[in-house]
Amino acid sequence: MTLVEVGPRDGFQAVDPFIPTDRKIALIKALYAAGMRRIEVGSFVSATALPQMADAEAVWSAACDLPGLDPQVLAPTLRQVERAMAAGVDHVGFVLSVSEWHNLNNVRRMPLESVAEFARIVDVVRAGVRLRVNVATAFDCPETGLVEEDATLALLDALVGLRPDAEFTLCDTTGRARPDHVRRLFSRAQERFPQAASWTFHGHDTYGVGVANVLAAYEAGVRTFDASIAGLGGCPFAPGATGNVATEDVVWTFEGMGRRTGVDFDRLLPVAAEIVALPGAETGGRVRTAISRRDACRAA
């Protein structure tokens, strides 16, 4: 099992004001010290569009100094992928949406135009650069509602053939997916695309079923999961959506089930507390709050 910590990207980008670069690096190091070995450390995007990610090169460089860490970044266009590779990045995530509405708002393209952009990226990435494809609104669109499973599978049809050794991530962007939907879609995707190298679930906890959806994906055979420390995050084009499922909630659940995550829960909790204290941070998660209340009651 692999947990991918996406807080320093999906989480930090939702925070205003700017988090100083040395503070970002310190938090990444704290996550690493707690046992996280895959961390999405930032986005290579326009600094005008997303000022929080203006220091992506510096953060990436610092993350590379941590032995055994597999850092990754998001780069939504060919231009930004080329910028990332120029900085030495060797693990890049691309993003597109099943929903036309969401893709137009997020990356200013129709979904099939994004597929064409991914094809161009595949053509230019150098040997050794790993690719990840984040399929947003795979289950639900904030504007149009339920996304048909066949629509998601049809988009995957166009993607998997371009780079079957990529990591394919199905994203519950709004947090409205239910466990049966998650289980069924992953089962169908794995059956339909046996050549796909790996699958990941990226869930939000807007409706309180984030961990249940993680477990549903696990039951379907998925073994890689995105999570965000303290549930930090959101999506500007998914109004009302909260952050990703909290890393500490996922670790607590799996470790309690005897499924080893490689993460030290006791060292993770103080990092979550630091995230909560960030100015402008909107956080979530349940385990941290429950433990804090329990400890307060014991101290009373």
- What are the sequence ranges of the domains in the chain? 2-299
Query: What's the pLDDT at 1?
Result: 96
Token code pair at residue 79: 């231009």
pLDDT tens per residue, the chain (300 residues)? 999 999 999 999 999 999 999 999 999 999 999 999 999 999 999 999 999 999 999 999 999 999 999 999 999 999 999 999 999 999 999 999 999 999 999 999 999 999 999 999 999 998 999 999 999 999 999 999 999 999 999 999 999 999 999 999 999 999 999 999 999 999 999 999 999 999 999 999 999 999 999 999 999 999 999 999 999 987 665 566 678 999 999 999 999 999 999 999 999 999 999 999 999 999 999 999 999 888 878 776
DSSP result, the chain: -EEEE-IIIIIGGG-SSPPPHHHHHHHHHHHHHTT--EEEEEE---TTT-GGGTTHHHHHHHHTTSTT-EEEEE--SHHHHHHHHHTT--EEEEEEESSHHHHHHHHSS-HHHHHHHHHHHHHHPPTT-EEEEEEETSSEETTTEEPPHHHHHHHHHHHHTT-TTSEEEEEESSS---HHHHHHHHHHHHHH-TT--EEEEEEB-TTS-HHHHHHHHHHTT--EEEEBGGG----TTSTT---BPBHHHHHHHHHHTT---S--HHHHHHHHHHHHTSTT-----SHHHHHHHHHHHHH-
- Give the global pTM: 0.96
235 is catalytic: yes
Which CATH fold topology does 2-299 show? TIM Barrel (3.20.20)
Angle between helices 21-33 and 265-276 (to 10 degrees): 160
Return phi, psi of residue 240, to 5°: 90, -15
Is residue 105 exposed (0-12), middle (13-18) or buried (19+ Cβ within 10 Å)? middle
Contact 36, 65 (CB under 8 A): no
Query: What's the pLDDT at 293?
Result: 85
End-to-end CA distance of the chain: 39
Which residues pair with residue 136 across a beta bridge? 97
Handedness of CA 177, 142, 251, 223 (dihedral sign): positive
Residue in 64, 141, 171, 235 annotated catalytic: 235
CB contact set of 80 (below 8 Å; sequence gap of 6+): 44, 45
Query: What's the pLDDT at 241?
Result: 67
**Rounded Cα gap, residues 101 and 64, in angstroms:** 36
**Rounded Cα gap, residues 134 and 202, in angstroms:** 8
Q: Which amino acid is at 166?
A: A
